[in-house]
Structure 1
Amino acid sequence: MHIASVRELVSAEEWALRVDLAAAYRLVAAYGWSDLVFTHISARVPGPEHHFLINPYGLLFDEITASSLVKVDARCNKVIDSPFPVNPAGFTIHSCIHAAREDVQCVLHTHTRAGVAVSAQKCGVLPISQQSTFVLASLATHEYEGVALRDDEKPRLVADLGTKTYFLLRNHGLLTVGKSVADAWLSMYTFENACRIQIDAQAGGELVHVDPAIMQGMGQVMKVATAGQGPGIAWPALLRKLDREDASYKT
């Protein structure tokens, strides 16, 4: 599929963001988190216009490139012409979070088997793994209201998320936010693994819960664990992995 490059139509800063966001889509596909074409990762474009980038509806995540990402405004109007539509449900969830959270550049949402399974459990995320301790330190929950098509759900989504990083959408899936694409992706990696571990552990014997005292100050623990680099400790290596396998996401 030929998609015309938009590199000359956007700033260098926006192009770098497009490359990172396209990489995130490819990595979601590579790690098996995609749901055909039905989930989304969005990123706020730098500047006062409150534009953001989201996936072209209809492309598989391993097809997405920097140029194919659709730039829309707060009303879902395309800012740069694109042959692809935008999923209205994806726009509902992502647009309200971007509007409410100035600290958030990227919103990543998945419908993985393990994530939906845990979202359907009354107990939610259990403190039974090291991964879960990071999630529980900044976890919010939103009750299911059907496919997210209605504007009246936006205030409840925003209120339930608050200032948290991890968002459990009941009977629906997982969502993370971050100050960069890399931040949101690494948080989802942790969230997804916490859910997979939980489902696997529940198939065995009695569960051992982590001592609540251990879960204090997990933000500082993360800084130490990543040598102060946060997602920067892993993101460059992930990009190198993509480059070795298929660098077309950069086009």
Structure 2
Amino acid sequence: MHTKETGTLPVRDQVSAAEWQVRVDLAAAYRLVALFGWDDLIFTHISARVPDAPGHFLINPYGQLFDEITASSLVKVDESGTPVMATDHPVNPAGFTIHSAIHEARPDVHCVLHTHTPSGVAVSAQQDGLRALSQQSIFPLSSLAYHDYEGVALREDEKPRLVRDLGNANHMILRNHGLLTCGRSVAEAFLAMYTLESACRIQILAQSGGVALIEIPYAMRADAAQQARQVTKGLGGALAWPGLLRRLDRLSPGYAL
């Protein structure tokens, strides 16, 4: 594979301290997605900006299961999806189409997380999408967008429509496809996905009871963003992230290698 950089040193010795920290967090997110059962073999993606290298991003080595991914195995690519460090792994073109579009259009977004969970796909196939059926639902509903299905995301011409539909939202339901969240950090994108996935799972469970459902009135959820800041003491995903890393250290060590 032709790359823009080569080297035989360990990856940690080839990158800045800032990039290495993002690599560790991103590898942790992949492991956590597997731990929570949100993975779909090798077929979804989480990406993150390289903080001190504009136009460079980190994404999974296509072919590795999420519970195998390490900080060193992540692939660094440019805006066209071309690796910029030596790697033995390819990049999934469908995965990078979605992620590159969002990173290019949203400089505030440093991490994009995409899943194909059964609950997420089930809600994405419902005409009404996510409903205000749980406390968990009110947070993504305060910043939720939808994008209609256009087939496997391989075509460049889908990018502007994806960006248009996302707008300034940080949660997106990809119709008949799955879920997507954005964050200013890996931790923030992960917490957003945890909440959105929980809301979808609860919705499917509630609907399975076969009885009329009670929706939360809009007046009770209009200030959900402010409520979220209060609940997390203004720290957002950073509040739970250290505990999640401790869980990984116990159950899936090795992600930081």
Fold equivalence (TM over 0.5):
yes
The answer to whether residue 35 in structure 2 is matched with residue 26 in structure 1 is: no
Q: Match for residue 194 of structure 1?
A: 199
Q: Give the structure 2 partner of residue 248 of structure 1.
A: 254
Q: 1:218 aligns with which of 211, 221, 224?
A: 224
**Distance across 2 between alignment mates of 1:8 and 1:132:** 43
2:95 pairs with 1:90: yes
The TM-score, its normalising length taken from structure 1, stands at 0.97
Corresponding residue to 1:232 among 220, 238, 249: 238
Q: TM-score, normalised by structure 2?
A: 0.95
- Once the two structures are superposed, the pairs formed by residues 56-95 of structure 1 within 5 Å of their partners are 56-95=61-100
- Secondary structure at the aligned position of 1:231 is classed as helix
Equivalent of 2:152 in 119, 125, 147: 147
1:13-52 equivalent positions in 2, closer than 5 A: 13-52=18-57
Deviations 1:156-210 (CA, angstroms, capped at 9, x unpaired)? 0000000001000000000000000000000000000000000000011110000
CA RMSD of aligned residues (A): 1.1
Q: What stretches of structure 1 move > 2 A for 4+ residues in a row?
A: none
Partner of 1:208: 214
- Letter of the 1:216 partner, please give it: A
Counterpart residue identity of residue 33, structure 1: W
Of 107, 118, 121 in structure 2, the residue corresponding to residue 102 of structure 1 is 107
Judged with a 3 Å threshold, the aligned counterparts in structure 2 of structure 1 residues 4 and 206 are, in CA distance, closer, same or farther, namely farther
Q: Which residue of 2 aligns with 1:115?
A: 120
Secondary structure of residue in 2 paired with 1:248: coil
Aligned residues: 249
Q: Deviation at 1:231?
A: 1.1
Gaps (5+ residues) in structure 1? none
Percent identity between matched residues is: 63
**How far apart are residue 111 of structure 1 and its match?**
0.2
State the alpha-carbon separation in 2 of the partners of residues 64 and 123 from structure 1: 36
Q: Cα distance, 1:4 vs. partner?
A: 7.7
AA of the residue aligned to 2:157: D
Whole-Å Cα distance in 1 between the matches of residues 214 and 123 of structure 2? Answer: 17
Q: Is 1:127–2:132 an aligned residue pair?
A: yes
Report the secondary structure of 1:121's partner residue: coil
Unaligned runs of 5+ in 2: 1-7
Query: Tell me, what secondary structure is at the counterpart of 1:67?
Result: coil
**Equivalent position amino acid for 1:192 in 2:** E
